Amino acid sequence: MVRKGKFWLLIPIYILLAFIFVYPAFAEIKIFEKEESAVVGQDQSQNQVESMLREQAKIAALEEAGTYISTLTVVKNYQLQKDEITALAAGIVSTKNVNWPILEPIDGGRHVRIRVKFRVDVDTSVLDRQIEAFMRDKGALKREEEAMKKVRELQTQLANLKSTEVKRLEELNAQAIALERERDRQRLFREEQALKAKGELSIAEADRLKKEQEMQDRISRTRAEQERAKRSEAAALATEQDRIKRAQLENEQRWNDLSRQAKLSQESWVAIDDSLSLKQASEEAKGLKAEIANLKNRLDYQYQANTANLQKAYAQQRALSGVRPPPEPAPKDAFESTAEYNNRLAAYERQVAAAKAAGGEAVEKLEKEEALKLAEAKVEYLGQQIRVLTAFVERLGALQARKFTLPEGGAMTVDLGAPDADNNRFPLALQYNSRSWSAWWNYDDRDRAKDFYRTRTHLKAEGLFQIEEGTALRPKLTAARVTHLATKETREFPLESPAAFREIVQFEKFKEDEAGAKASRKKAAKMLTLKEIAKDGRFIAYYDGTVLDTETNLMWAAKDNGQDINWSNTKRYCETYRGGGYADWRLPTQDELAGLYDRGKKNHDGYQVTELIGITACCPWASETRGSDAAYFIFSNGKRHWRYQSFNYRNRALPVRSGK
């Protein structure tokens, strides 16, 4: 009976020892790609949804990696003394986005679905350390399980929260992120300590862990700064009561969210150095191009949303600023004379006209304000494109500028020709895959050049390749590195240029568009501050000495130069004219001058044109020329004529520019 009891006591020990020695053979790092999606609720932010999707991807990866359940049973004298079941889950090494979050409008644009693909690295060797920790200190495993349990509880709460509980959702989200960062720091610390304890911590591995730790700390600091900025923006938005200012704050908050996400992506970049291979550079370039395309789509979507937001706010404001007529007059009183009643009706009509005029002015002012705000929104949109994409485009450019050798097929043939003594140089012939190039190897020291020429068979050439744009990214031979094996002298010879990445070319276009948008904004701001002094049909005169033709959208100087002038001086006068503070005045065409002619009107000098434009003589010059002649227009009879450019009798200079 005694031997039989001891046998039962030894069984669980044998099982545990077998597990300890067999399991490490199966330890490895497994990589899982999980795509998660969710619809953004009415009161949820995009960051909250992306954080929940990240946690869902981790859970799915852990479930697929497998969770080991070990049972420890102790039997003594045929009685069950102890029974423990311990869950040991594989550890997550890292989690990162495979692609930038993709926004998909659904339900006719009323809602947005977010799709994100995550790469989750799971280290099953963590089980070894968990088992060792369990054998040494069961309290450590218990604390780990409690932490995991707390994360699962937070995830459950995040998933079940209603959309109206936004504040609570943000608090739980921040706790989950902080807990995840703490677990990452603890994991890195445990790994480092375990390797040091075993004496296996190599310099390279220590450097990797250090860089990863620095990256985690950098990301943590950036996230903390961004959280503070987001809270400040939310507080400002909550206290703003003005409808238009609130719309602007909402737009700024969306732009800032995009900038913050781009900044987090940049924090994970590694240095571009000699350790980078062509394959790695190509893969990163593909990823960057995808990120830039996704960012561009999101910026476009955001700009459209911001524009619609502003237009809606101004439409509501115009509705509130409409015409408010006075109350209708009371019927004629029996004791009121007819003259008194008519005077009262006339006063009422004047009040109605004044109300309409005031309402029209208010609406017109709002329309000008809206034009300015929309112009500013476009400048902001283009500026955001440049600010957000600059780092990505610059990194893409740095990857394309990096030159690589191809050991499997980059060898070139090189021949050094007879010296060109007159110019102190050797002709160099390079060849690669039936293609040839010529170059010159210059020298200063004749004696050294003689030795160099005698040992020219020691020259070796290798091709240098750069990544080139195309239907698919491909390496292109762009330079040759020629080395003299005896003297170790090396020179590099450029051969061709790679086709630039499309994103780099488009980025330059963004800068041009921004300059044009700024000019439009300046014009819109000018129109808002312009004070009208008179109107004549389609013409509006402003206090700054300009007249706008609302039909053609041309802006004219309110008067000509006032004296005889030849054509060349007229051209100079118009191009240097600075009326109204504008610097883009020019000579008008004959057609543009003819557009001012009005047979039914006369200005103060008797010419058939609106009285708002002071033409003091019959014949302003036009911009067209043919040989020594130039065109002009006659405002006394509406005819077009030509005369010598040197002629000046009764000719005038009338500057014009494009309007708004």
Q: What is the pTM of this model?
A: 0.48
Cα distance between residue 568 and residue 623, in whole Å: 10
Cα torsion 582, 588, 594, 596 to 10°: value is: 10
pLDDT the model gives residue 7: 45
Which whole-number Å values give the CA distances from 529 to 313, 365, 379, 439, 524, in the listed order?
21, 10, 19, 63, 9
Q: What is the chain's length?
A: 660
- Of 258, 248, 259, the closest CA to residue 309 belongs to 248
- Burial class for 53, CB neighbours closer than 10 Å (0-12, 13-18, 19+): buried
Domain map of the chain by residue range? 1-201, 202-270, 277-385+508-528, 411-498, 530-658
Task: Answer yes or no: are the C-beta atoms of 635 and 618 closer than 8 Å.
Answer: yes
Strand partners, 119: 33, 96
Amino acid identity at 530? L
pLDDT the model gives residue 406: 79
Q: What's the token pair of residue 166?
A: 């936004």
Higher-confidence residue: 191 or 195?
Answer: 191
Three-class DSSP category at 539: strand
The 10s digit of each residue's pLDDT in 596-606 is 999 888 888 88
The 10s digit of each residue's pLDDT in 304-336 is 888 888 888 888 877 776 656 677 888 888 888
HSE of 27, CA atoms in CB hemisphere, 13 A: 18
User: What number is the average pLDDT over the span 211-223?
Assistant: 75
User: What number is the average pLDDT over the span 596-622?
Assistant: 90
The 10s digit of each residue's pLDDT in 478-535 is 999 999 887 888 999 999 999 999 999 999 898 889 888 988 888 788 778 778 888 8
Helix or strand run (H / E) with residue 586? none
pLDDT the model gives residue 21: 41
Q: Rg (Cα) of the chain, in Å, rounded?
A: 39
Residues in CB range of 296: below 8 A, 6 or more apart: 385, 389
Residue 486 gets which letter from DSSP?
T
pLDDT the model gives residue 627: 94
Higher-confidence residue: 622 or 225?
Answer: 622
Domain at 530-658: CATH code: 3.10.100
